[in-house]
Amino acid sequence: MESIAIFHELENQERLDYTIDFLNKHPLLKGKFAFVANPDSMPDQCIWYGLDEDDSICMPAQEVFFSTKKVDSSQYNANPYTHKNKTVYSVEELSKSSTDFLFNGDFCFDVFEAIFFHISRYEEVFAEAKYNNKAGWLEEKDQFLVRNQLEKIPVVDHIISTLILALTQQSIDTKATHSISHDIDIIARFGSSTQMMRTVVASVYHRKGLSNFFQSIGQVFKYISGSQKDPYDVFDWLITDKSNFTEKTIYFMTGGETEHDNRYDIKDPKVATLLQLATQRKYEVGIHPSYNASEDTDMHIGETATLAKVSNRKIKKSRQHFLRWSWDKTPEIISQSPIDQDSSMGYNRRLGFRCGTGYAYHLYDFKTEKAYTWTELPLAYMESSLIHESEKTGKSVEEISNAFSDQNKQSTHIEMNWHNSNFDESLPHGNMLKSLYHKILNEV
Ligand SMILES: [Zn+2]
């Protein structure tokens, strides 16, 4: 293991220490390189951070996001810096055109603050409530990475690989890893005969034309006659037995108090069958807390306890329904719950890396200036976000997904979420999503 010293004279060093800890646990660096702040001895590699030292490698200290004074980052820019064939992006107030990452042997922007800005979710934590979306967090289009059209690449993972290359001339790039999950929001389309009638009537009211009406009637008859399974019952192929994933998780809902919740009963025999299948195929079971549970400790903990009881296992993983998240409350609720990994940091309207990294890490608690004890596995890829992006841009789901995969073959992790309810052949993207899903399973 090689040590890399960071010499600095920062007054408040908690945020730099957190960033160094993040780096030392990062899968691209782990076991190979370790950063250490102000060591007594002088290792081979040193960065003089915010200090001028002749004949040594220096890096400017921006002292914005590491300072405890709150800053409005809504006008900050991502300036491109290049090294060999790699480009990395800063988080700076002034806009600059493309320049070298290393100039005369010194780094040209503050890498540590840029990493901290993304992984701490600084801009979201300090965003005014009026700029938040329905899910409870900063509107996607106003987020730094989306504003700068950089959400499709893991800017933080790229900075790390480029920093090591520039410092040591060694490449730490590795093949991207993948994990897979399914949020079970609804288990069957046709639960009862009234639900079936509603489906047919809704196809007339909400959808276009008579062809859809006849298709819906056709689906209902095929289902009643037993010649077709429920269109949401795709579990035999959705729940994959492939072992190339670092994690496989199925998230169930057990409660709720809004129209977005309670679309099945956790005690339904269909759930028991699905649990059995998922267990056979080596999935872990997680809780999908209901709409309002992101702001209610008792609900969150109660719903998790119900799932633990029904499934007869410990529940350690969680992903918020609709990715609902209140920066004031949700992290605290998770800290008080038995959950040790959340996976809600994704976009609802597009594919991409909301935290700049695809790998799991600890989020930052600005109140205590310390890392939370649980980890966050960012959600980079969700098929419902892909559908939204396709409808917004006019590009097909396949085109968007392929471009995303092509851009992210190296040095990151992609956590995916696929819902069982979006492969229905009566939905506009149903069949294309099904073939896309099978293609991805074969490629991973
Ligand atoms: Zn959900």
Q: Of 4, 17, 93, whose CA–CA distance to 364 is shortest? A: 17
**Gap between the Cα atoms of 47 and 148, Å rounded:** 28
Q: Please give the distance, rounded to the nearest whole angstrom, from the Cα atom of residue 185 to the centre of ligand 1.
A: 5
Long-range contact list for 129-132, CB < 8 A, 24+ apart?
none
Q: Please give the distance, rounded to the nearest whole angstrom, from the Cα atom of residue 106 to the centre of ligand 1.
A: 47
Q: Please give the distance, rounded to the nearest whole angstrom, from the Cα atom of residue 187 to the centre of ligand 1.
A: 12
- Average pLDDT by consecutive 10-residue portion of the chain (444 residues)? 96 97 98 96 92 94 96 97 97 96 97 98 97 98 98 98 97 98 96 59 61 68 70 97 97 96 96 98 98 98 98 97 98 98 98 98 98 98 98 98 98 98 94 97 95
- Rounding to the nearest 10 degrees, give the CA dihedral for residues 164, 63, 22, 343: -120
User: What's the token pair of residue 311?
Assistant: 């499934």
Burial (CB < 10 A; 0-12, 13-18, 19+), residue 270, is middle
Q: Please give the distance, rounded to the nearest whole angstrom, from the Cα atom of residue 198 to the centre of ligand 1.
A: 22
Q: Please give the distance, rounded to the nearest whole angstrom, from the Cα atom of residue 342 to the centre of ligand 1.
A: 14
Q: Please give the distance, rounded to the nearest whole angstrom, from the Cα atom of residue 419 to the centre of ligand 1.
A: 8
Q: Please give the distance, rounded to the nearest whole angstrom, from the Cα atom of residue 289 to the centre of ligand 1.
A: 8
Whether 117 and 364 have beta carbons less than 8 Å apart is answered as: no
Angle at the Cα of 93 from the Cα atoms of 124 and 116, rounded to 5 degrees: 45
Backbone angles phi, psi at 5, to 5 degrees: -85, 145
pLDDT score recorded for residue 226 = 66
**Gap between the Cα atoms of 192 and 198, Å rounded:** 10
**Gap between the Cα atoms of 434 and 291, Å rounded:** 27
Q: Could you tell me where in the chain the CATH 3.20.20.370 domains are found?
A: 177-189+230-443
Whether 18 and 364 have beta carbons less than 8 Å apart is answered as: yes
pLDDT digits (tens, 9 = 90+) for 82-118: 999 999 999 999 999 989 999 999 999 999 999 999 9
**Gap between the Cα atoms of 136 and 331, Å rounded:** 13
Sorted by sequence, the CB contacts under 8 Å of residue 29 that are 6+ apart come out as: 23, 160, 164, 172
Burial (CB < 10 A; 0-12, 13-18, 19+), residue 85, is exposed
Q: Does domain 177-189+230-443 have CATH number 3.90.1150.140?
A: no
**Gap between the Cα atoms of 164 and 26, Å rounded:** 13
Q: Write out the residues surrounding ion ligand 1, Cβ under 5 A.
A: 183, 185, 321
Q: Please give the distance, rounded to the nearest whole angstrom, from the Cα atom of residue 164 to the centre of ligand 1.
A: 39
